Amino acid sequence: MKEVSLKDAQATLQKIIIWTKKSSKGRLEWQKACHEVNMQHRKFKTSVKTNFASKVILFQETLEYVSVINICYT
């Protein structure tokens, strides 16, 4: 695994979240990936860039859904 900065990770996660919210294809792919790993479909909120607590919540929530994210975006 290569080292990634938190700022880059946050930017990538926010792009993913926006894609699954604004794109019908993104929503469909997200729902399929959730169903494939038997996880409940849920919508994430993009974090406030300056708010530390919202960044922590973003990373915690996405850690729970890492298998879905891997299926959807690899």
Contact 39, 67 (CB under 8 A): yes
Cα separations in angstroms, 17 against 1, 2, 40: 23, 23, 16
| C-alpha–C-alpha distance, residues 11 and 66, integer Å | 16
Q: What is residue 11's predicted lDDT score, i.e. its pLDDT?
A: 83
Average pLDDT, the chain: 80
Q: What is residue 49's predicted lDDT score, i.e. its pLDDT?
A: 66
Tokens of 68: 């879905």
**Each residue of 53-74: pLDDT tens digit?**
777 887 887 888 888 888 877 7
Cα separations in angstroms, 69 against 50, 58, 61: 24, 13, 11
pTM: 0.66
Contact 39, 13 (CB under 8 A): no
